[in-house]
Structure 1
Amino acid sequence: MNIFRKKLALAALVFGGIAASNAQEVQSNQSLFNEFLDHNGNEFRTATGKPGEDYWQNETDYKIEATLDDQAHTITGKLTLEYTNNSPQELDFIWMHLEQNRFTQDSRGTLTTPISGNRYNGDVDGGYTITNLEANVKRSSSSKHIITDTRMQVFFDEPIPANGGEATVSMNFTYKIPVKGMDRMGRLETENGTIYALAQWFPRAAVLDDIEGWNIEPYLGAGEFYLDYGDYDFKITAPYNHIVVASGALQNEKDVLSATLRDRMEKAKNSDETVMLVKADELDDMSLRAKQSGTLTWHFKMENTRDVAFASSKAFIWDAAKINLPSGKKALAQSVYPIESDGQGAWARSTEYTKHSIENNSEMWFEYPYPVAVNVAADIGGMEYPGLSFCSWKSTGAGLWGVTDHEFGHNWFPMIVGTNERRYAWMDEGFNTFINHYSSNKFNNGEYPSNLNQTRNAIGWYTNPNREGIDTYPDVTNLRNLGMIAYAKPAQGLFMLREYILGPERFDNAFKSYIKTWAYKHPQPRDFFNHMENVAGENLAWFFKGWFYGTGNIDLAVNSVRQYQGNYVISLSNNGDIPMPVKMQVTFADDTTQMVELPVEIWQRGNDWNYLLETDKQVAKVTLDPNKMLPDVNFSNDSWPVAQYQN
């Protein structure tokens, strides 16, 4: 039989099968493949997912001097913000975040917390006192401001000029440090003293961008942060017997560290093994302190960062080790923790974990840009800031590895790639959960392996009628769904994109290009989608639309396997809402196997497809997705045993 007659006969077979069933309707799935986001570029953001020639973002440079009072548990400080308006419009005012105002009885966050409470419970006896506010543009000065919950509008007598105009805002601030700081900051009482974990600890400028204008969502709970970049010069005055660690490089070691500590620090900077700076039996050894009474002022600097945090305590064991970066540069991994957290099964390995996490992500994705990576044991489940993380003081073993790797992974998302966490938690938590998968599998030859690839473990959630879409804003999300839609589902989406749809080489090329392109900038979801499509060279609208927007599921099926003229016709269907490429393993009677891969375009014209397998062997079994990479919601139709189709 010639090729034409063979294809004609095959068409008759297929058509006859469809007609006989009388259940299939010819349809078009073109709507699934159409682009769903605006690809029209403009001068700010291009259709290729890159910043446009007129892309802009404002700059925020801070100088802060703050004092920690460990008797009254307060922070008192003075802030000077140098604000640069790079936008194309002059500004009569700026907005600032006052997140400590969340900790008041009548804050919006308090009033929207369920009676039963949740993870984001917080104290209600705090809040800012702001004094001596002065807003200057050129020679004009204003003190006018309006505080509304966790936001403050600061007005200028003369507008900040567009395209590089500058303003200065200064103020004094004070507040009581909460014990319970919404699992992001706070105080922990230990045997040897209080651990102060300080974040959202000063008034911070809100972001003005070309998408939303001013981003002024209040600080409620689940939604995190969105901040501009700048240089930070900050000084923390604490009791003489405290150790202070912070984002950024310590500027005055000689003023705050004894000669012994400086020697140990120098050793740590050149050691791949953890070096003890302050040992468990040295917590009361005041000879390691630079003073024997009063206070010490610790001076830190950090460049091109969106935030800084710090911790202070007299209860800290302190250790450190060198971080090796791909360019040959070095950074310093550090850990501070109380004696209750000590031990090789616990925080004594924290610096080892921190070092690996930073080195692996630097090698695989983008080099770590900060001088330090500090892990702080606190009464916080896990929270990240540039160059510093707070992790639970109770964490041990795999739990401590997991939270350490996750929080330091956040230095890539959203610290380097500055996404809007308050709106798009999935671009923060999901992307980070994805890179954690590879870091975990690599650490110590898989000592703590990731289970992200076990996508089918979550089928119960994927079929739950109360599930929500990834695009749901975090403050609106049912907290029962937050772990899936912010963390697991977007991470599994990237995993499928890398391991199943594009392959590691094409994915890595596009993903690393995305990170490099948007480092220290503010990408939106469409920038990510557009960039991945353009660099990978693939229309992925069918996947992005189905997976990241809505609650549809994947369900590929093998319907039948029929012999035809010495070959086989394998009938497939897409029973789900999201089309996917087909990867199927054919097992023959002689136990040999063959992988067959079909492109996603087979579903463009409808939900049924027939594949002609040309072989002179007897087919014994056909299995879809043999490596189980897809969270296919119906296991029962994923394979076709010979016993079912011989009868």
Structure 2
Amino acid sequence: MINNFHKCFAFFLLISQVSFGQNIQNNPGSNHGNKFEQLGTILTTPNEQRTASGAPGVKYWQQRADYNIKCELDEKNLVLKGSETITYYNNSPDVLTYIWLQLDENEHSNLNNANYQNSTRMPSAAATTQVDNMGFVAAPKDNGNGIRITKLTDATGKKLTYTINKTMMRVEVPALKSGQQFVLNIDWNYQIPNRLTLGGRGGYEFFPEDGNHLFTMAQWFPRLCVYSDFQGWQNHQFTGRGEFALTFGNYRVQMTVPADHMVGSTGECINYSAVLSPAQMARYNKAKTSTTAPVEIVTLAEAKVAETKKSTAKKTWVFQANNVRDFAWTSSRKFVWDAMAQPINGKNVMCMSFYGKEAYNLYSKFSSRAVAHTIKTYSDFTIPYPYPVAQSVEAANGMEYPMICFNYGRTDADGTYSESTKNGMLGVVIHEVGHNFFPMIINSDERQWTWMDEGLNSFVEYLTEELWDNKFPSKKGPAYTIVPYMKMSKDLLEPIMSNSENIVNFGPNAYSKPATGLNILRETIMGRELFDYAFKEYSRRWAFKHPTPADLFRTMEDASGEDLDWFWRGWFYGTDACDIALDSVKFAKADYPKAPAGNNRVVGNRPQRVDPPAVNAFEDISKIRNRQDNNIKFYTDKDLAARDFYWKYDRGLVQIDSTLGSKTAAQPNRLPMEEFTDEEKAKYGNKFFYELNFTNKGGLVMPIIVEFTFKDGTKAVDRIPAQIWRLNELKASKFYVHDQEVASIKLDPMRETADIDETNNTWGGSEKASKFQLFKVRAGAGPARGQSVGSNPMQLEKKGE
């Protein structure tokens, strides 16, 4: 969902909450060893349901709920009545004595809503509807909104005991054992709310100029909560922000509506021949094979006529949807309806749009095309779109459901529109259609981890927008766009790994920051090939299942061979920002000192000493206990031949005359050197040496991207992995040898890392060159790896003999 309300008013809500980043460092007093520590116990413990690789385990299970629903839309009285039969399958290993259902419509009830946690203020001006909705009295009068349960029985007609707690309903059932199923029947009704005055996703919009309604029937029926292996019942109250955790199942739904209404819905209509005219049916069949342009099934002219002739008759539309987690629909006589086919994995998916005349010049041209582009692009990055239909409905909204979504984008009265309106419309269609994948198929828990829904979807939305138009002004994904959020005061930030109700700046936190992080992973840290493979693997593993953050994190590492714990720790669990400063640059030219007599040259400046015994200064408890344990026999005690000089030396059983060592200490670390030829001096004289010194001022470890601009105008870029900070998280240095003199240096030239301060990222090449001593070592003169160099205690003992 694109939540414009929260984006528009985020800064006005900042004062209501103060939060800090999670301190999950193992050794917070150190300048290393924290940010690159493995996540370890921060992630859930692997088990037979969820493996350490991030894949579902051999004993993974999930519940199922099938629905048979009949409902009737009373347009005159704005009431929806329904009856449903739910078959609930207990695939868990547990015995259930009650089940929980969601009653989302109760958010509009002043008696049963769960939106109780926010503080409010008296505005300087308000509409009467706002006053009616905000006011509190000791004994409030029922405003008539919310779900009313009129019957609740089992399959035999026996009444079931139930309790409504705000937006949740607990139904007590006979002990439901593993592998069993339970059938319950529910009759209900509710007053359909005006979305534009009461808010929310479902409801109606009224058009006074033609006297018609546009209905978006969403979150409209009692439906099962998720019961999972990692949480049990997900029955957190619905406050209007954190969305849903829902169970997969099969749906058969019958909607009785005014006869002149057009209905779009989750699933496939199985009685089009009974509700469409022959001409409309013929156009629908034509659209099923039209892969290049939409076909209008209901034309603009027909929609305008329907607006003026309001039928009193009724029609029943029947839809079937299999293996979906929710069901939504729309109904109006105002609709123009067009469709085209998009081939996916050998099958044509019907990409359809419903919209009024107010949106015609935008939606007729772009909507169904954008739907087709979206499901094709998402299929390429994740899994092939599995459903037969994908639909976009213009409803001055932004919300998603399986196979159908509600979007915005209307023209001016004369049919023209601004570019921002067009781009906004395209962005919302791509975003909401993309939600078919996240979370409708890869079915994360939106109530608990909004970012797994909105953030992952916003990331693939960005990829899709970029593939829609090379100039498309994407806002979620490019690293530099998240900088204003990242540089905010820490008391206004929360980690991405926060519950949605606890977030102040909801849009940047749940949408933009995770999308940006994934894009940085793909473009800057992992590379596209590794990232894309791993991301597809995550999508494949968890399609039609319930993944958690740990499953995503582990799969991305498991499938790519990249250790990314440092990135999850910093970007998802913390609030630090990236601010890497280029503190200083040392610039040098080569100098060639003459080799000393004997062709030897001291390399370095290490003082010679006699090595002390290589034993720990402090004997730890393990060594002491091992020595005290009579059952432990050390190898050198069992095999005396394994003892050597140092076995005695470490125990003080051999004495060394240190004066012998001083006689040889004048010639330490010498390597045979040679003089440079004139040709070699000319070669190295053209080299330019640079040492770059960096400071991590923001706290977030990230790669360092260095761009060199040479004096002839050419450029070179070095990409230093984030691991450069591993042994010192505050300071890092890098030595370079170039064939040209550098005119300037710039960090993160393409603004890939969300660096919040670019003023400390440059160097202008003004330093005077210093001397750099260069030596030529005789080929093959160095010691082999592991070979002793210089004197050692054993050598000195022999000299003293």
What TM-score comes out, normalization by structure 2 length? 0.73
Which residue identity is paired with 1:33? F
Find out whether 1:527 has 2:551 as its counterpart. yes
The answer to whether the 8 Å contact 1:187/1:379 transfers is no
The answer to whether the 8 Å contact 2:341/2:372 transfers is yes
Q: Distance in 2 between matches of 1:646 and 1:308?
A: 71
Q: Deviations over 1:85-126 (max 9, x none)?
A: 1111111110000111111113343444535699xx997531
Q: Distance in 2 between matches of 1:634 and 1:92?
A: 57
Which residue of structure 2 lines up, in the alignment, with residue 580 of structure 1? 702
What is the aligned-residue identity percentage? 34
Where in structure 2 are the equivalents of 1:244-643 lying within 5 Å? 244-271=263-290, 272-283=292-303, 294-325=313-344, 327-343=345-361, 345-346=362-363, 348-380=365-397, 382-392=398-408, 394=410, 396-443=421-468, 445-446=469-470, 448-465=472-489, 466-478=492-504, 481-564=505-588, 565=590, 566=687, 567-606=689-728, 607-643=730-766
Find out whether 1:83 has 2:126 as its counterpart. no
- Relative to structure 1, is the Cα distance of residues 56 and 321 closer, same or farther in structure 2, using a 3 angstrom cutoff? same
Shift of 1:28: 4.3
Q: Deviations over 1:167-187 (max 9, x none)?
A: 111111111111126341221
Q: Distance in 2 between matches of 1:201 and 1:483?
A: 26
Which residue identity is paired with 2:497? D
Q: Distance in 2 between matches of 1:116 and 1:91?
A: 46
Q: Distance in 1 between matches of 2:244 and 2:477?
A: 29
The answer to whether the 8 Å contact 2:383/2:539 transfers is yes
Structure having the higher strand fraction is 1
Find out whether 1:210 has 2:215 as its counterpart. no
The answer to whether the 8 Å contact 1:188/1:194 transfers is yes
Q: Deviations over 1:185-228 (max 9, x none)?
A: 22111244210100001001011111211111111111111101
Which residue of structure 1 lines up, in the alignment, with residue 663 of structure 2? none
The answer to whether the 8 Å contact 1:186/1:379 transfers is no
Shift of 1:347: 5.1
- Relative to structure 1, is the Cα distance of residues 284 and 546 closer, same or farther in structure 2, using a 3 angstrom cutoff? closer
Q: Deviations over 1:360-391 (max 9, x none)?
A: 212232211111111112132x0000110111
The answer to whether the 8 Å contact 1:28/1:604 transfers is no
Q: Deviations over 1:308-336 (max 9, x none)?
A: 100001111111111221x1111111111
The answer to whether the 8 Å contact 2:466/2:472 transfers is yes
Q: Distance in 1 between matches of 2:768 and 2:533?
A: 43
What TM-score comes out, normalization by structure 1 length? 0.89
Which residue identity is paired with 1:90? V
Q: Distance in 2 between matches of 1:49 and 1:189?
A: 48
Q: Distance in 2 between matches of 1:484 and 1:347?
A: 32
The answer to whether the 8 Å contact 1:586/1:619 transfers is yes
Q: Which deviates more, 60-69 or 562-571?
A: 562-571
Q: Deviations over 1:602-640 (max 9, x none)?
A: 211112222221223212222222211111112122122
Which residue of structure 1 lines up, in the alignment, with residue 186 of structure 2? 171
Q: Distance in 2 between matches of 1:242 and 1:460?
A: 46
The answer to whether the 8 Å contact 1:44/1:54 transfers is yes
Shift of 1:406: 0.7
Shift of 1:461: 2.2
Please state whether the residue corresponding to 1:379 is helix, strand or coil: coil
The answer to whether the 8 Å contact 1:346/1:397 transfers is no
Query: Would you identify which runs of 4 or more consecutive aligned residues in structure 1 move more than 6 Å?
Result: none
Please state whether the residue corresponding to 1:30 is helix, strand or coil: coil
Q: Distance in 2 between matches of 1:436 and 1:476?
A: 25
Which residue identity is paired with 2:434? G
Which residue identity is paired with 2:190? Y
One of 96, 99, 108 as aligned partner of 1:103: 108
Which runs of 5 or more structure 2 residues have no equivalent in the other structure? 1-28, 134-142, 412-420, 591-686, 771-801
Which residue identity is paired with 1:477? I
Q: Could you say what the CA RMSD is over the residues aligned between the two structures, in angstroms?
A: 2.4
Q: Distance in 2 between matches of 1:111 and 1:552?
A: 32
Please state whether the residue corresponding to 1:155 is helix, strand or coil: strand
Please state whether the residue corresponding to 1:411 is helix, strand or coil: coil
Which runs of 5 or more structure 1 residues have no equivalent in the other structure? 1-25
Which residue identity is paired with 2:431? H
Shift of 1:452: 3.6
Which residue of structure 2 lines up, in the alignment, with residue 125 of structure 1? 144
- Relative to structure 1, is the Cα distance of residues 644 and 221 closer, same or farther in structure 2, using a 3 angstrom cutoff? farther
Instruction: Give the length in aligned residue pairs.
Output: 608
The answer to whether the 8 Å contact 1:265/1:277 transfers is yes
The answer to whether the 8 Å contact 2:267/2:388 transfers is yes
